[in-house]
Amino acid sequence: MDKYAVIKTGGKQYLVTENQLLDIEKIEGKIDDKIFFDKVLLIKDKKLSIGEPQLKAKVKAEIVEQFKDKKIRVATYKAKSRYRRVKGHRHQKTKVKILKISS
């Protein structure tokens, strides 16, 4: 990994490199739309640049796919009362391809 960055999106931080596929929280947009991540916390190119708290850099990405994650089952019950319930949830995700890290 010669050139990488740490970006923040959807309340999470991701270590990204160029030409990497990444599954993140859902971002509005259509397939092949170009998006920019401007919350860049760190960039390592020839030297290491750390933001305090952010850098004035951008990471360009392209939306590859909008999809639902695998199903999560949540079971609840109350003891001694015959109450049982199972719920399911599928989280909305977006697959992006990191195109360029610019400092």
**Phi, psi dihedral angles at 70 (to 5 degrees):** -65, 155
| Closest CA relative to residue 38, chosen from 54, 8, 58 | 58
What string of pLDDT tens digits covers the 103 residues of the chain? 689 999 999 999 999 999 999 999 999 999 999 999 999 999 999 899 999 989 999 999 999 999 999 999 999 999 999 999 999 999 999 999 999 998 7
Contact between residue 16 and residue 98 where contact means Cβ atoms under 8 Å apart: yes
pLDDT at 2: 81
- Position 103 scores a pLDDT of 78
How much is the pLDDT for 1? 64
Dist. CA 80–CA 71, nearest whole Å: 29
Q: Per-residue b/e over 17-39, b at no fewer than 16 CB within 10 Å? A: eeeeebebeebeeeeeeebebeb
Count of the separate structural domains present in the chain: 1
Query: Which among 73, 100, 95 is positioned nearest to 21, based on CA atoms?
Result: 95
Domain around 24? 4-102
Q: What's residue 18's pLDDT?
A: 94
